[in-house]
């Protein structure tokens, strides 16, 4: 009896050992080398599983069932696509985790990667810190500050359970008529190159031997995305997603350099531009995506489309979708952002691979790159949100970084009717001061586009922050009377007996094509407010805008003029410098034109006659 029991137990142990060995997969073992893990997993995958990895769908479609049925590799939130209005970090994380459970329930359990447009902070999330848009950061000339912004943004993105940020935009905006110009750090490629430090902030510092390979330094960092490849800031007349007409030397010397730096920093992904280069759509450009980016520059991360980007290969969009799939994947695109029509994409690509229109080697290249990023990020070991990070959203520490960025981004363009009579810094102790203008008490206006919603929204109820008016009130002496009038009439200004006035005007929020603008005038009633106030009272005009605007007709009436760009949620940074707690240090990241008839006009051009040249910026000393 005893010997039969022993044989049974030995058999049982043998069977268990066989089961354990059968369950062991090299790709699941973090001790295995990266290439071993990728090749092991790739070798187990069916065509359906591979094409699923290449597919990125919109949050609203990403049920756990859809994730598992189609083996979806990635999910995104389009601008303003949120789990619920004013959703908490916990609500975001719960949503992402549910989708992840769907992915992990599949045969191979490949985790999905969730991407979001965190372009100036985790800007879709309620109460997140909203940093200045890139044009303001370009004015700081402070790459290490930009790196710290990346670090803070990574924590606020991870707080919502998300691991992938569609940032930075490293466009070189050559024409301010472009509606995305505020997403560009500068017209100067060298300034844009210097600001690729944001990637190191988001992802962590890549080791020196990592050139070309994606790097994400742990579960408190996020995968970054250099965009939009390439030439998006050079389109004709600044028309969004239009044609960039430039020779190869111009493309390589103006629009390409920041990609070199991004790749050296181990950027995980590159997003292709909607725009064309000399008439050829970037989403179908095999030379620039495969021959140059992948083969010559040795970029080893994955290439992703823009939102419905392959649809735009044809005109009108989507008119020959199967051709768009063939052209885009054939050009070297690895992951396709198909928010809604993802089953059509999957069916078309499957058909093309089965009929040798797209080679399996092209599919394997795409999936290898996607898996490389996922393994590098540690998603297989840490697929779910870290609940301990929820408190990072809008933290005091991050808001202080944003406030510092606002201070350093302000560019002082005029200070006094003559150099001997500077107006700034303003005295905190005054009898009575006037604050006027549409942007003085409007958080949405000072944050701009890509804030809670895609286009951004005016008003003070969209998220948390400090308006410029409330910052002024908290900065001046308690005995100083602050009068606010959004659009005061002349008689009230004349009768007010004000010591001085602060006029805050500018552009309404906008994003992408909605911001394309051929006249670049200050929207009404801004010019009228400037003239009404500044003709009666000593005034400083603070302009809130995503780019230089036409100001020459009004500059003579101003005593002082400050370009504040789109400062974000921390308006206190504006007051810090106006009242002299800190000095002005910002330098123009782009040329300030006199008239739109001069555009495009950039530093170094033969006919260069700006109102204020690139790099200009007066300085003041902080009050002791």
Residues designated as active site: 306, 512
Check if the beta carbon of residue 296 is closer than 8 Å to that of residue 327: no
Check if the beta carbon of residue 62 is closer than 8 Å to that of residue 56: no
Measuring CA to CA, which residue among 578, 520, 528 is closest to residue 554? 528
Do the strands 164-165 and 243-244 form a parallel or antiparallel pair, or are they unpaired? Answer: unpaired
CA-CA-CA-CA torsion sign (469, 442, 594, 242): positive
Three-state secondary-structure class, residue 466: strand
Three-state secondary-structure class, residue 477: coil
- Residue 195 token pair: 């600001």
Three-state secondary-structure class, residue 550: strand
Q: Which helix (H) or strand (E) holds 37?
A: helix 34-44
In whole angstroms, give the CA distance from residue 459 to residue 310.
36
DSSP class per residue in 295-329: IIS---SEEE--TTTGGGGSSSTTTTHHHHHHHHH
DSSP class per residue in 412-458: EEEESSSTTS--PSPPS--SEEEEESTTTT-HHHHH-SSBSBSS---
Three-state secondary-structure class, residue 183: helix
Three-state secondary-structure class, residue 504: strand
Q: Show the beta-strand stretches assigned E in 200-273.
A: 225-229, 243-244, 269-272
Find where tokens 């990592």 sit. Answer: 210
Starting at the earlier edge strand, list the strands of the sheet with 539-544. 411-415, 560-565, 539-544, 500-506, 432-436, 481-485
Measuring CA to CA, which residue among 298, 160, 154 is closest to residue 223? 154
Q: What single-letter DSSP state applies at residue 60?
A: G
Check if the beta carbon of residue 70 is closer than 8 Å to that of residue 343: yes
In whole angstroms, give the CA distance from residue 229 to residue 600.
21
- Residue 46 token pair: 């069916």
Do the strands 276-277 and 280-281 form a parallel or antiparallel pair, or are they unpaired? Answer: antiparallel
CA angle 471, 566, 517 (to 5 degrees): 140
Check if the beta carbon of residue 136 is closer than 8 Å to that of residue 186: no
By CB neighbour count within 10 A (0-12 exposed, 13-18 middle, 19+ buried), where does 427 fall? middle
């Amino acid at each position: 009896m005893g010997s039969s029991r022993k044989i049974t137990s030995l058999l049982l142990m043998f069977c268990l050992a066989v089961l354990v060995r059968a369950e062991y997969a090299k790709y699941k073992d973090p001790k295995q080398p990266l290439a071993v893990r990728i090749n092991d997993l790739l070798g187990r995958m069916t065509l359906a599983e591979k094409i699923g990895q290449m597919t990125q769908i919109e949050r609203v479609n990403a049920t756990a069932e859809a994730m598992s049925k189609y083996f979806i590799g990635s999910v995104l939130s389009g601008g303003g696509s949120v789990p619920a209005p004013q959703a908490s970090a916990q609500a975001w994380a719960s949503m992402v985790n549910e989708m992840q459970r769907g992915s992990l329930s599949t045969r191979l359990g490949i985790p999905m990667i969730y991407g979001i447009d965190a372009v100036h902070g985790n800007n879709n999330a309620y109460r997140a810190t909203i940093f200045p848009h890139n044009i303001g950061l370009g004015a700081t000339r402070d790459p290490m500050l930009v790196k710290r912004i990346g670090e803070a943004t990574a924590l606020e993105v991870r707080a919502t359970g998300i691991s992938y940020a569609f940032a930075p935009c490293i466009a070189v905006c050559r024409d301010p008529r472009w509606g995305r110009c505020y997403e560009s750090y500068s017209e100067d490629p060298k300034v844009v190159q210097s600001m690729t430090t944001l990637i190191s902030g988001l992802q962590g510092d890549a080791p020196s031997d990592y050139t070309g390979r994606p790097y994400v330094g742990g579960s408190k960092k996020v995968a970054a995305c250099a965009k939009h490849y390439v030439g998006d800031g050079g389109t004709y007349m600044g028309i969004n997603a239009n044609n960039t007409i430039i020779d190869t030397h111009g493309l390589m010397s103006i629009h390409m350099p920041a990609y070199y730096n991004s790749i050296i920093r181990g950027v995980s992904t590159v997003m292709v531009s909607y725009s064309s280069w000399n008439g050829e759509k970037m989403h179908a450009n095999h030379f620039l995506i495969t021959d140059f980016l992948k083969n010559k520059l040795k970029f080893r991360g994955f290439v992703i489309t823009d939102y419905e980007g392959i649809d735009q290969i044809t005109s009108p969009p989507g008119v020959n979708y199967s051709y768009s799939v063939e052209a885009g994947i054939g050009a070297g695109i690895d992951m396709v952002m198909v928010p809604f029509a993802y089953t059509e994409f999957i069916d078309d690509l499957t058909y093309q691979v089965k009929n040798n229109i797209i080679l399996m080697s092209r599919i394997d290249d795409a999936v290898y790159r996607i898996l490389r990023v996922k393994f590098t990020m540690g998603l297989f070991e840490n697929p779910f949100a870290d609940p301990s990070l929820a408190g990072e959203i809008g933290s005091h520490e991050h808001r202080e970084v944003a406030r510092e960025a606002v201070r350093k981004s302000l560019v002082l363009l005029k200070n006094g009717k003559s150099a001997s009579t500077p107006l700034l810094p303003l005295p905190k102790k005054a009898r009575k001061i006037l604050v006027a203008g549409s942007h003085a008490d409007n958080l949405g206006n000072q944050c701009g586009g890509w804030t809670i919603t895609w286009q951004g929204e005016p008003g003070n109820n969209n998220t948390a922050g400090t308006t410029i008016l409330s910052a002024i009130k908290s900065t001046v002496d308690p005995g100083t009377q602050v009068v606010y009038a959004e659009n005061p009439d002349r008689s009230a200004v004349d009768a007010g007996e004000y010591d001085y006035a602060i006029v805050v005007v500018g552009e309404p929020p906008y994003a992408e094509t909605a911001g394309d603008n051929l006249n670049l005038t200050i929207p009404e009633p801004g010019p009228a407010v400037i003239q009404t106030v500044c003709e009666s009272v000593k005034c400083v005009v603070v302009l809130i805008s995503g780019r230089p605007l036409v100001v020459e007709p009004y500059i003579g009436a101003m005593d002082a003029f400050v370009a504040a760009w789109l400062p974000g949620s921390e308006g206190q940074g504006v007051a810090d410098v106006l009242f002299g707690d800190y000095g002005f240090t910002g330098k123009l990241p782009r040329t300030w034109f006199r008239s739109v008839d001069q555009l495009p006009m950039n530093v170094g051009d033969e006919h260069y006659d700006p109102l204020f040249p690139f790099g200009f910026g007066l300085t003041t000393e902080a009050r002791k």
